[in-house]
Amino acid sequence: MIKAILIFNNHGKPRMSKFYEHYTEDTEQQIIRETFHLVSKRDENVCNFLEGGLLIGGSENKLIYRHYATLYFVFCVDSSESELGILDLIQVFVETLDKCFENVCELDLIFHLDKVHNILAEMVMGGMVLETNMSEIITQVEAQGKMEKSETLTLLFICQSMRQSQASRFSSKIS
């Protein structure tokens, strides 16, 4: 089981957090800080696994992380997950983000938190890996994106027609 997925930047600012067990907001922040503290002091060329008495779950759990440019992607998992498998999963996640945002950077994650969550929801559900096939994930994300777009388009259309009618009313008043 995956216990939590955290994304934060080089300064420890959270960019996305997903906890699959309930914690209070304070504890969540504490976990993020503690995790950042552990992860950030590690060199670039050391292994990507960390054990340790964390707030989440205790010693059975492991932190598996990857560092991309300004962002850390950290998965907190228990012993039922394969370490190398999770590393691959992080890679898939990042590549998917890259595809969906077209050259993803930190700013994309900052401004589109909801979208990141939606992408993640197609990969991991309730702490269990749902899908690892990138093209399948992207297909589903895009299909949902299209649905959203069509809904907002109809809304915009209504707005526009409203405006036009208002404008015409306005012009008729003038005339």
Partner 1 sequence: MALKIVKGSIDRMFDKNLQDLVRGIRNHKEDEAKYISTCIDEIKQELKQDNIAVKANAVCKLTYLQMLGYDVSWAAFNIVEVMSSSKFTYKRIGYLAASQCFHEGTDVIMLTTNQIRKDLSSPNQYDTGVALTGLSCFVTPDLARDLANDIMTLMSHTKPYIRKKAVLIMYKVFLKYPESLRPAFPRLKEKLEDPDPGVQSAAVNVICELARRNPKNYLSLAPLFFKLMTSSTNNWVLIKIIKLFGALTPLEPRLGKKLIEPLTNLIHSTSAMSLLYECVNTVIAVLISLSSGMPNHSASIQLCVQKLRILIEDSDQNLKYLGLLAMSKILKTHPKSVQSHKDLILQCLDDKDESIRLRALDLLYGMVSKKNLMEIVKKLMLHVDKAEGTTYRDELLTKIIDICSQSNYQYITNFEWYISILVELTRLEGTRHGHLIASQMLDVAIRVKAIRGFAVAQMATLLDNAHLLTGNTQRNGICEVLYAAAWICGEFSEHLEDPMQTLEAMLRPKVATLPGHIQAVYVQNAAKLFATVLQKHEGETDSQAAQETSQLLIDRLPLFVQSANLEVQERASCILQLVKYIQKLQQKNVEVAEEVTALFAGELNPVAPKAQKKVPIPEGLDLDAWINEPPSESESEDEKPKVVFAKEEPKHYRSRHTEVDEKELARRREVRKQEQANNPFYIKASPSSQKVYDAPGVEHIPVVQIDLSVPLKVPGMPMSDQYLKLEEERRQKEKAERKKKEKKKKREKRGKGRKADSGPESEEDITPAHQVDIVTEEMPENALPSDDDDKDPNDPHKALDIDLDKPLADSEKLPVRTHRPEVLKSPAEDRDSKSVPQETKKKSSKEKKEKKKDKEKDRKRSKEEKKKKKKHKEVEEELLESQPEEAVQSEETKEAAAPPTSTSAEASDLDFWLSSAPVPPAAAQEVTAPSSAAAVDTSSAAAPESEPDEPKDTEPEDTKSSKHKKKKQKKEKEEKEKKKKKRHHHHHHHGDAGGEDSVQNGTVEEEEPLPPMSNYSLLAENSYIKMVYDIQGNHQDESKVVVSVIFENKSDSFLKSMEFNVLDSLNSKLQRPEGAGPHDGLTVPFQLPPGVSNEARFVFSVQSIVMPQKLKGTLTFIVKSDESSTHEKLDFKLHFTCTSYLITTPCYSDAYAKLLESGDLKGSSLRLEGINMPFHHLLARICFHHHFSVVERIDSCASMYSRSIQGHHVCLLVKTSDQTVSIDAKCDEPSLLGNVLDEIKQTFSKC
- Regarding 82 and contact with partner 1 (CB under 8 A), the answer is yes
CA distances from 82 to 42, 85, 122, 129, 158 (A): 22, 5, 20, 11, 51
- CA 70/CA 73 separation, integer angstroms: 10
- CA 53/CA 60 separation, integer angstroms: 9
Question: Quick one: which of 152, 167, 168, 169 contacts partner 1 (CB under 8 A)?
Answer: 152
- Sign for the pseudo-dihedral over CA of 124, 119, 28, 104: positive
Q: Which of 121, 109, 122, 128 is nearest to 70 (CA)?
A: 109
Question: Quick one: which of 12, 34, 49, 67 contacts partner 1 (CB under 8 A)?
Answer: 49
- The alpha helices in the chain, defined as continuous H runs, are 25-40, 83-101, 106-111, 113-123, 134-174
**Judged by CB under 8 A, which stretch of 67-75, 80-88, 93-101, 167-175 contacts partner 1?**
80-88
Question: Quick one: which of 5, 35, 48, 100 contacts partner 1 (CB under 8 A)?
Answer: 48
- CA 14/CA 172 separation, integer angstroms: 54
**Judged by CB under 8 A, which stretch of 43-51, 53-61, 67-75, 93-101 contacts partner 1?**
43-51
Question: Quick one: which of 128, 142, 164, 168 contacts partner 1 (CB under 8 A)?
Answer: 128
**Judged by CB under 8 A, which stretch of 53-61, 68-76, 97-105, 139-147 contacts partner 1?**
139-147
Question: Quick one: which of 47, 102, 103, 175 contacts partner 1 (CB under 8 A)?
Answer: 47
CA distances from 78 to 56, 105, 107, 172 (A): 10, 29, 31, 69
Q: Which residues bind to partner 1, rule: CB under 8 A?
A: 1, 14, 16-18, 20, 22, 24-26, 28-29, 43, 45-51, 80, 82-85, 87-88, 110-111, 113-114, 117-118, 121, 125-133, 136, 140, 143-144, 147-148, 151-152, 155, 158-159, 162-163
